[in-house]
Structure 1
Amino acid sequence: MQLRRLATATAAGLIAVAALAGCGTSNTPDATGDGAVSGDITLRLWDEKVADSYETSIAAFEEANPGVNVELNVVPWADYFTTLRQEVGTGAGDDLFWLNGANLNDYVEAGSLLNIDETLGAQAKNAWTPAVVSQYTVDGVLYGVPQITDGGSAFYVNEDLLAAAGVTADELSNATWSIDPAQDTLLPLLQKLTVDQNGNNAASPEFDSTKVASYGINVANEIQNIQLNFIGSNGGTYQTAEGAMTFTEPKTVEAYQYMVDLINKYHVAPPAEASNENGDYTRDEFIKGNIAVFESGTYNLANVHEGAAFPWSITEIAAGPAGKVTTAPGVIVAGNANTKNPEAVKALLEWLGSTEGNQFIGATGSAVPAVTEARDAYDTYWQGESVDTAAFFTVLEGNEQLPPVTGTNFGAQFEAFTPSLNEVFLGKVDVATGLKSAEDAAAKVG
């Protein structure tokens, strides 16, 4: 774990950042400006880019509350929920921590989270993105302050690789994938974009799949931007409303078969040996210029913008037989019910849920703020960088969305079914058989 002690910012510096985000600091909530609270508290999250933004936001909070010291605890995603579960389960853990929807119910049922309606008042939620509020409301109670809303998935495209293959971004976003080859207009484009070291693309009989120089797309064992999109756009389901996994639903099986074929039959996506154990592998390969199309969300925008040395742009994802279907989850900051400093926690929750506190995330482009009036800071930042982010949001307009992952004990289910899914993506087991094993493994712990 990495603890980042926050440096004290000057008042002039804070005002400058607030001005960049579109408003001043004069509207700081009363609870964070009366100097009545004090003590040391910690805030846990997994995103380094947002942590950078939080440092500035929390410096402003600390200036208004000189008796409070906040430390950021940045824990890598791979370890985040394992260690959080262990720490909070023993009645300890950080005073505040990020949660995603897949892990919410476990902490609610354990009584580990502060009731936000009671802590900040029932009207506080009116300032936050309704979809995120809904995602984190259980039995009528909201259990966190929305921080980020992801928007939908989009295609990041390497314009150099597209031009070399004679493929356009519009062709990709207007394409439709299908298990019926006669209806599949996406695969031929991905084959053109996949090139071996001898310059042969994947549609050529001379193509050498063991010596690929650049792949067409980043299909992998990733839930939010890959599996859910293909499943939803084929009319399948990932879970029941109660959180039981539905891997064996026929349309879901078809979607997985298509994904696996892109990797192991057509070789237009990197082998699962590389991506199964490294969730950032395909992102990093796209940034290196080794993948033409990177299907992902807004949370990778800052990484791509910072790291890619080639011209790139963003376009809508392709459709499936059921249209363009994606998911738009959010992230909350939750208060630990066992905190020893509830007043300082309440004050920080109120600040992070305010326009002033949340806008710092958008002002650096690190993520889309979930406080409604803070969204302008995000749009302004990326407009200033000449990056068009519209595809993340237009894909949601008029299209049905697949619900974000949820359910009690999903973390344990995930650990149980992942080995079987890894085998599926590796091509070591028949898709239908592997999905049955995954569903059975999840049911045993669900």
Structure 2
Amino acid sequence: MSTKWTAVSLLAAAALTLSACGGSDTEVADAGGIRLTYAIFSTDQQPAMQKVVDAFEKDHPGIDVAVQVIPWTDYWTTLQNSAAGGTGPDVAWMLGSKIAPYADGGVLQPLDETISAAGTNLSAYPQQLLPLFKRDGKTYALPKDFDTIGLWYNKAIFDAAKLPHPNADWTWDDVVKNAKALTDKGKGVYGIAAPVEAQAGYYNTIYQAGGHVISPDGKTSGYQEPASVNGLRFWTDMIKNGYSPDLKSLSDTEAVAQFMGGKIAMYYSGSFYAYRFAHDDYTSKNVDVTELPAGVKEATVINGLGNVALASSKHPREAAELAVFLSGEQASRIQSETGTVLGSHSGTQQAWVDAAPQFNLRAFLDQLPNAVVYPVSENTDAWSSRESELLTPAWNGETSVEEAAKSLATAMNEALAQERQ
């Protein structure tokens, strides 16, 4: 295990452990078979993932898989501590932005041989996502799902204002014009929500403005560039002009809750909310979605989850087989058919669109040609953890967007320089 990984793990909160996901739970199951644990962080996805696990168990008699849900707020610290201590789950969800220290620390199994043995067709996956899960030529996960960002909107609010609904031809100017027209502070209704949100918010507008978050070689920040500043200003102007609730309001009641409560007319967010909106009485009837409005160009951020097999598993071969199965075509089809998430394997995604016909979910797929992969580096957390802190003063009007972007670029470049040492 690398010194870098050990140092990071020692700084983490050691009190958190995977009480139900550890070495003792990978012992031989009571029927003489093998027991594996699978750690995830979404209760919304738990039913779908259980169906996938059931399919795996049917194809692999003698293997029992326990799905364990760890809340997002605890998941990464818990996984880090248990993985470093050799008591982690057998298989776990992993983000491309977080995989590097795990892979470099030797706590994950390379899956290339298992992928090859399964006859997996790598061309069936979104090609932008595959590099997120590779390190030094080795594959540590395949995407189990993916998401892009769209413009969710409240049809009832638009209809009450006698305004046409957003469509795929919209630009930033249309968003601003309608955000202004739809804001009615007397009724507590705002045209748009402008939280300090990276993946679903300003990352998209930075790329739409012609800027970038990180250079293509991963060595320098792009925040200081004028185009990137323009992408940030799209959001700060919404608050400055009163078209969005201020950050205190968005902190007291998060943007998605205000949108679901009929207080926000437009909300930039991902395909990952389709399941929740479809199962809510109000949003199922009153909201829809379209492609993101274009700035200088069209762009949407694409990201996805992968499944990793931990090297500490007492059953490494079976754990690797489970990890690959969980990202395979059958698993992807099951996830899409339940409407839970957008399955990663081509040919399975229309089922997700069909699962919620009240929404224009095809918009998320139609944007794939313009998709920009979620920005990462060797140690993404070192700089991404500073984004909200350093950008918030600009959202609050306490400093200019240029100054906030400059401060973030400086901090990010320092972090990126550390990666090269």
TM range (shorter): 0.7 to 0.9
Name which of 230, 233, 250 aligns with 1:257.
233
1:402 aligns with 2:398: no
1:443 aligns with 2:413: yes
| Aligned mates of 2:130, 2:34 — CA distance in 1 | 29
RMSD between aligned alpha carbons?
Answer: 2.6
**Cα distance, 1:300 vs. partner?**
0.5
Are the equivalent residues in 1 in contact too, given 2:288–2:358 (CA < 8 A)?
no
| Aligned mates of 1:216, 1:245 — CA distance in 2 | 32
Name which of 323, 328, 347 aligns with 2:321.
347
1:441 counterpart letter in structure 2: A
**SS of structure 1 residue aligned to 2:361:** coil
Are the equivalent residues in 2 in contact too, given 1:156–1:293 (CA < 8 A)?
yes
**Cα distance, 1:164 vs. partner?**
1.5
Are the equivalent residues in 2 in contact too, given 1:176–1:319 (CA < 8 A)?
yes
| Aligned mates of 2:141, 2:328 — CA distance in 1 | 13
Q: What's 2:194 paired with? A: 219
Higher alpha-carbon deviation: 126-135 or 228-237: 126-135
Are the equivalent residues in 2 in contact too, given 1:4–1:72 (CA < 8 A)?
no
| Aligned mates of 2:313, 2:245 — CA distance in 1 | 45
| Aligned mates of 1:362, 1:405 — CA distance in 2 | 25
Structure 2: runs of 5+ lacking an equivalent: 1-16, 22-30, 417-421
| Aligned mates of 2:297, 2:139 — CA distance in 1 | 32
**SS of structure 2 residue aligned to 1:145:** coil
Name which of 168, 179, 195 aligns with 2:164.
168
Q: Count matched residues.
A: 386
| Aligned mates of 2:364, 2:192 — CA distance in 1 | 18
Are the equivalent residues in 2 in contact too, given 1:104–1:406 (CA < 8 A)?
no
| Aligned mates of 2:184, 2:74 — CA distance in 1 | 35
| Aligned mates of 2:389, 2:252 — CA distance in 1 | 11
Q: What's 2:259 paired with? A: 286
| Equivalent residues in 2 for 1:36-435, closer than 5 Å | 38-121=33-116, 123-126=119-122, 128-131=124-127, 132-150=129-147, 152-170=148-166, 173-177=168-172, 184-197=173-186, 213-241=188-216, 242=218, 244-263=220-239, 265-275=240-250, 281-309=254-282, 310-320=285-295, 322-382=296-356, 385-397=357-369, 399=370, 401-435=371-405
**Cα distance, 1:190 vs. partner?**
0.5
Are the equivalent residues in 2 in contact too, given 1:193–1:215 (CA < 8 A)?
yes
**Cα distance, 1:147 vs. partner?**
0.4
Q: Quick one: percent identity of the two aligned structures? A: 23
Are the equivalent residues in 1 in contact too, given 2:329–2:345 (CA < 8 A)?
yes
> CA offsets, 1:309-351, max 9 Å, x none?
142222222111x222112222111111222221221231243
| Aligned mates of 2:198, 2:33 — CA distance in 1 | 41
Are the equivalent residues in 2 in contact too, given 1:260–1:425 (CA < 8 A)?
yes
Are the equivalent residues in 1 in contact too, given 2:391–2:405 (CA < 8 A)?
yes
| Aligned mates of 1:235, 1:428 — CA distance in 2 | 26
Are the equivalent residues in 2 in contact too, given 1:136–1:144 (CA < 8 A)?
yes
Are the equivalent residues in 2 in contact too, given 1:228–1:402 (CA < 8 A)?
no
| Equivalent residues in 2 for 1:12-51, closer than 5 Å | 38-51=33-46
**Cα distance, 1:288 vs. partner?**
1.0
| Aligned mates of 2:264, 2:277 — CA distance in 1 | 12
Are the equivalent residues in 1 in contact too, given 2:111–2:320 (CA < 8 A)?
no
1:100 counterpart letter in structure 2: L
2:238 counterpart letter in structure 1: L
Structure 1: runs of 5+ lacking an equivalent: 6-35, 178-183, 200-212
**Cα distance, 1:243 vs. partner?**
5.5
**SS of structure 2 residue aligned to 1:235:** coil
Instruction: Check 1:83–1:439 CA distance in 2 against 1; reply closer, same or farther (3 A cut).
Output: farther
Please report the TM-score for the alignment, with normalisation by the length of structure 1. Answer: 0.79
